[in-house]
Amino acid sequence: MDNWKTIISFTYPHEAHMAKGYLESEGIETLIQDEMTVQVNNFYSNAIGGVKILIRDKDYEEALKILKKGGYIIEQNKEEGLKIETYNIKSESEKYKCPYCGSENIERAKRPNFLAVIGVLIINTFFPFYQRYYHCFDCKKEWIFKIKKV
């Protein structure tokens, strides 16, 4: 039996269907996974990793090429990603500027905490937990300050 693996995932089912149609028009067989879960509640989508498109192992390289050609995969994104780093500081007063480029053009942002979403899935109760982080408008880095008293 062939092994199937995830090549790309989407937040919404209709996006996955567009990519599926595109891949199949190029002769790649696909499967869609987790579509039903996401349809029940879109809020779950990010927690379970979105609606996934699976393809056969042997088609992987070819499918990747097709998705890049179609603009579904933008290579740059892989590098930049949403990587939040932890930055150690000695006191609260250091929180006003970006530790990477020194810019003061930063914002405090928050996004739903992954663990809180899992809580929703397991016991069906919403915990409004957010992960707080900082974002720099100049160098686009994202990080968390951690106060470390020496």
Q: Does 87 bind Zn ion (CB under 5 A)?
A: no
Is 45 exposed, middle or buried (CB count within 10 Å of its CB: 0-12, 13-18, 19+)?
A: buried
Q: What is the nearest approach in angstroms of Zn ion to the Cβ of residue 85?
A: 12
Residue pair 117/46 in contact by the 8 Å Cβ criterion? yes
DSSP letter string over 56-80? EGGGHHHHHHHHHHTTS--HHHHHH
- With binding defined as CB under 5 A, does residue 18 bind Zn ion? no
Q: Which residue, among 136, 132, 135, has the nearest Cα to 146 in the 3D structure?
A: 132
Is 139 among the residues that bind Zn ion (CB under 5 A)? yes
Instruction: Kindly tell me which of 22 and 134 has the beta carbon lying closer to Zn ion.
Output: 134
Task: Pick one of 7, 66, 98, 117: the residue that binds Zn ion (CB under 5 A).
Answer: 98
84 part of the interface to Zn ion, by CB under 5 A: no
Q: Kindly identify the residues of this chain, within the stretch 109-138, that bind Zn ion according to CB under 5 A.
A: 136, 138
Residues 32, 52: Cα–Cα separation, whole Å: 6
Q: Which is nearer to Zn ion, 24 or 94 (CB)?
A: 94
- Identify which of residues 75 and 107 has a Cβ nearer to Zn ion in the complex: 107
Residue 63 contacts Zn ion per CB under 5 A:
no
- Contact between residue 53 and residue 4 where contact means Cβ atoms under 8 Å apart: no
- Interface residues toward Zn ion, by CB under 5 A: 98, 100-101, 103, 136, 138-139
